[in-house]
Structure 1
Amino acid sequence: MPPVEKKSQLLAIVIVSFLISSSSALPFNEALENKPSHPYHSDSNSSPIQGHSFLNFTGPISHNSQINATWFAEVSVQESYGTELLDNRSLGLLVQIDSILGDSDGWIDEEESNQFAALVVSARNWTDAYSGGCCSFDYSNMQVSGERQLAVVPPETGPVNRSEGHWGWTESANLSGLSDGRVLRLIDLPRVGALIEEVPIRIGLPEGWEFKFSPMSDIIYGNPGGFTVNRSEAPVAHDIRITIGENIPPTILASRFPSSSTTSMNLTSSFSASCSDSPLDSPIIQWTVLNGSKVVYEYQNPWFEISPSEIGFSHGDVLSVNATCTDFHGETSHWNDHSLIDGIDPDWSGTITANGTVATNIEIHDAVIEVPAGTELQFEINGSDESMLPVFLEMFTNISEGWRQFGMFQHMFHFTAIQGSEVNGAHISLNERHLQRSPTEISVVLLVTDDAGNSAMNEWVVRVLDSSPPTVIPRLLSNDVEIEFDEAHQDDQLTLDLSHSFDDLDNINDVIWSVWVDGTSTSSSLPELLISEANWTEAESIPLPMLSQGQHEIIVSSTDSKGNHREEVIDIVILPKRGAHISVIDASFTEGSKEGGMATLVVVVQNAGSDDAFARVCLSDICGRWTEQPFSATLESGPALRTIEFQFELSEERIENLTLQWDSAPAGTNGEIALEVKIESVEGVSDTSMMLILSMIALLATVYYLSRSGD
Structure 2
Amino acid sequence: MRRALFIVVLLLFAPIPMIGAETETIHLWSEEPPGAVLLWDESGNLTSINPDQPIDIHLPNGNWSLVRLIHGIPQDNPLLFNQNTNASNFLEQVIENPRSVSGHAHLDLLGPIEQAASLNATWSSTISIPNTLGHPDLPDSHLGITHQITSEFSGNASLFSEWLSNHSQIGCCAYDKIDMVGTPIVTSLVDNNSWGWEIEANLSGLADSRSTRLLWIPITGDLSDHTDLRITLPAPHEIRYSPQSEHISGLPDDFVVHRSAIDVTGNITIALGTNMAPTASWYADERQLPWLPFAQSTTIESSCSDTSIVAPQSRFILQSENTTLFDENASNVTIDPMFLNLDYSTWVNLTLECTDPQGLMTNHSQELYIDGIQPTRNLQMEYMHLDDQEPVVVDVGQQTISLPSGAVLSGSTQAGDDSAPPVDIRWTSNKTNGWIQLGIGNHAWDDMFVQGPHINGQHLTIEDRHQAKPLTVYSLELELVDAAGNYATQSWDVLVTDRTNPNPRPALSVDGNYYGELNLPIEGGPQIDVSLEESWDDIDAIEQLTWSVELNDEPLNVGQSWSEVESFTLPALPAGRHILVVNATDSSGNKGTHSMLFVVEPPMGGFLQISEVVKIGTGGPGEPGAMDITLENTGQGETIFRLCYLQDCTSEFIAVQATVDGPGNMTHRLSVTEWAVGDVTIRIEFDDNTSEEFETKLIISSEMTPLMWILLMLPPLIGFIALWRLKKQSEQEDA
Q: Paired residue for 1:220, among 248, 252, 255? A: 248
Q: Paired residue for 1:136, among 157, 174, 180? A: 174
- How far the C-alpha of 1:483 sits from its partner, in A, is 5.9
The residue aligned with 1:473 is 505
Q: Paired residue for 1:585, among 621, 626, 640? A: 640
Q: Structure 1 residues 390 and 188, CA, compared in 2 at 3 Å: closer, same or farther?
A: closer
Q: Structure 1 residues 288 and 487, CA, compared in 2 at 3 Å: closer, same or farther?
A: farther
Q: Structure 1 residues 47 and 67, CA, compared in 2 at 3 Å: closer, same or farther?
A: farther
One-letter amino acid of the structure 1 residue matched with residue 536 of structure 2: F
Do residues 437 (structure 1) and 489 (structure 2) align? no
- Distance in 1 (alpha carbons) for counterparts of 2:517 and 2:329: 81
Query: Residues 52-104 of structure 1, C-alpha deviation per residue, up to 9 Å, x if partnerless?
Result: 222122455344444232222211222232323323445443333322322xx
Q: Structure 1 residues 462 and 240, CA, compared in 2 at 3 Å: closer, same or farther?
A: closer
- Mapped contact 1:395–1:413 kept (Cα < 8 A): no
The residue aligned with 2:139 is 87
Question: Where do residues 201-280 of structure 1 align in structure 2 (5 Å cutoff)?
Answer: 201-256=229-284, 257-259=286-288, 262-278=291-307, 280=309
Do residues 99 (structure 1) and 126 (structure 2) align? no
- Distance in 2 (alpha carbons) for counterparts of 1:493 and 1:301: 94
Q: Paired residue for 1:153, among 186, 189, 195? A: 189
Q: Structure 1 residues 251 and 97, CA, compared in 2 at 3 Å: closer, same or farther?
A: same
Give secondary structure in 2 for the equivalent of 1:118: helix
Between the aligned residues of both structures, percent identity stands at 28
Q: Structure 1 residues 375 and 204, CA, compared in 2 at 3 Å: closer, same or farther?
A: same
Q: Structure 1 residues 586 and 96, CA, compared in 2 at 3 Å: closer, same or farther?
A: farther
Give secondary structure in 1 for the equivalent of 2:502: coil
- Distance in 2 (alpha carbons) for counterparts of 1:387 and 1:48: 68
Do residues 175 (structure 1) and 213 (structure 2) align? no
- Distance in 2 (alpha carbons) for counterparts of 1:211 and 1:463: 68
- Distance in 2 (alpha carbons) for counterparts of 1:295 and 1:285: 17
- Mapped contact 2:510–2:521 kept (Cα < 8 A): no
Q: Structure 1 residues 493 and 99, CA, compared in 2 at 3 Å: closer, same or farther?
A: farther
- Mapped contact 2:180–2:205 kept (Cα < 8 A): yes
Q: Paired residue for 2:158, among 97, 114, 118? A: 114
Query: Residues 245-277 of structure 1, C-alpha deviation per residue, up to 9 Å, x if partnerless?
Result: 222122344324421553332244342343333
The residue aligned with 1:200 is 228
- Distance in 2 (alpha carbons) for counterparts of 1:606 and 1:294: 118
One-letter amino acid of the structure 1 residue matched with residue 218 of structure 2: P
One-letter amino acid of the structure 2 residue matched with residue 153 of structure 1: L
Q: Paired residue for 1:512, among 546, 555, 558? A: 546
Q: Structure 1 residues 209 and 412, CA, compared in 2 at 3 Å: closer, same or farther?
A: closer
- How far the C-alpha of 1:113 sits from its partner, in A, is 1.5
- How far the C-alpha of 1:228 sits from its partner, in A, is 2.7
Question: Where do residues 451-530 of structure 1 align in structure 2 (5 Å cutoff)?
Answer: 451-477=483-509, 480=512, 482=514, 488-490=520-522, 491=525, 494-518=528-552, 526-527=553-554, 529=556
Give secondary structure in 1 for the equivalent of 2:339: helix
- Mapped contact 2:574–2:600 kept (Cα < 8 A): yes
Q: Structure 1 residues 584 and 263, CA, compared in 2 at 3 Å: closer, same or farther?
A: same
- Distance in 1 (alpha carbons) for counterparts of 2:161 and 2:604: 120
- Distance in 2 (alpha carbons) for counterparts of 1:121 and 1:675: 140
Q: Paired residue for 2:352, among 293, 299, 323? A: 323
Give secondary structure in 2 for the equivalent of 1:80: coil
Larger CA deviation: 43-52 vs 90-99: 43-52
One-letter amino acid of the structure 2 residue matched with residue 137 of structure 1: Y
Question: Where do residues 492-641 of structure 1 align in structure 2 (5 Å cutoff)?
Answer: 494-518=528-552, 526-527=553-554, 529=556, 531-533=558-560, 535-545=561-571, 550-573=576-599, 583=638, 585-586=640-641
Give secondary structure in 2 for the equivalent of 1:275: coil
- Distance in 1 (alpha carbons) for counterparts of 2:663 and 2:305: 93
Higher relative contact order structure (alpha carbons within 8 Å, sequence separation ≥ 6)? 1
Q: How many residues get paired?
A: 537
Query: Residues 33-53 of structure 1, C-alpha deviation per residue, up to 9 Å, x if partnerless?
Result: xxxxxxxxx999746533222
- How far the C-alpha of 1:119 sits from its partner, in A, is 0.7
Q: Structure 1 residues 539 and 138, CA, compared in 2 at 3 Å: closer, same or farther?
A: same
- How far the C-alpha of 1:481 sits from its partner, in A, is 5.1
Do residues 367 (structure 1) and 399 (structure 2) align? yes
- Mapped contact 1:486–1:572 kept (Cα < 8 A): no
Q: Structure 1 residues 142 and 542, CA, compared in 2 at 3 Å: closer, same or farther?
A: same
- Distance in 2 (alpha carbons) for counterparts of 1:277 and 1:638: 103
Question: Where do residues 245-394 of structure 1 align in structure 2 (5 Å cutoff)?
Answer: 245-256=273-284, 257-259=286-288, 262-278=291-307, 280-298=309-327, 300-355=329-384, 357=390, 363-387=395-419, 390-394=422-426
- Mapped contact 2:276–2:307 kept (Cα < 8 A): no
The residue aligned with 1:54 is 106
- Distance in 2 (alpha carbons) for counterparts of 1:43 and 1:254: 49
- Distance in 1 (alpha carbons) for counterparts of 2:161 and 2:520: 117
Question: Where do residues 10-25 of structure 1 align in structure 2 (5 Å cutoff)?
Answer: none
- Distance in 1 (alpha carbons) for counterparts of 2:437 and 2:115: 63
Query: CA RMSD for the aligned pairs?
Result: 4.1
- Distance in 2 (alpha carbons) for counterparts of 1:488 and 1:279: 93
- How far the C-alpha of 1:558 sits from its partner, in A, is 0.7
Query: Residues 211-252 of structure 1, C-alpha deviation per residue, up to 9 Å, x if partnerless?
Result: 223333343333433333343554544333322222212234
Do residues 69 (structure 1) and 121 (structure 2) align? yes
- Distance in 1 (alpha carbons) for counterparts of 2:272 and 2:297: 43
Query: Residues 439-478 of structure 1, C-alpha deviation per residue, up to 9 Å, x if partnerless?
Result: 3334333334444333333333343333333222344445
Give secondary structure in 1 for the equivalent of 2:485: coil
Give secondary structure in 2 for the equivalent of 1:98: helix
- How far the C-alpha of 1:510 sits from its partner, in A, is 1.2
Q: Structure 1 residues 171 and 354, CA, compared in 2 at 3 Å: closer, same or farther?
A: closer
- Distance in 2 (alpha carbons) for counterparts of 1:305 and 1:494: 84
- Mapped contact 2:132–2:142 kept (Cα < 8 A): no
Query: Residues 660-702 of structure 1, C-alpha deviation per residue, up to 9 Å, x if partnerless?
Result: xxxxxxxxxxxxx99889xxxxxxxxxxxxxxxxxxxxxxxxx
One-letter amino acid of the structure 1 residue matched with residue 161 of structure 2: A
- Mapped contact 2:165–2:186 kept (Cα < 8 A): yes
The residue aligned with 1:396 is 428
- Mapped contact 1:250–1:325 kept (Cα < 8 A): yes
Query: What is the TM-score with the length of structure 2 in the denominator?
Result: 0.63
Query: Residues 621-652 of structure 1, C-alpha deviation per residue, up to 9 Å, x if partnerless?
Result: xxxxxxxxxxxx9878999x9xxxxxxxxxxx
Q: Which runs of no fewer than 5 residues in structure 1 stay unpaired? A: 1-41, 103-107, 127-131, 157-164, 519-525, 589-601, 609-632, 642-672, 678-711
- How far the C-alpha of 1:576 sits from its partner, in A, is 7.8
One-letter amino acid of the structure 2 residue matched with residue 336 of structure 1: S
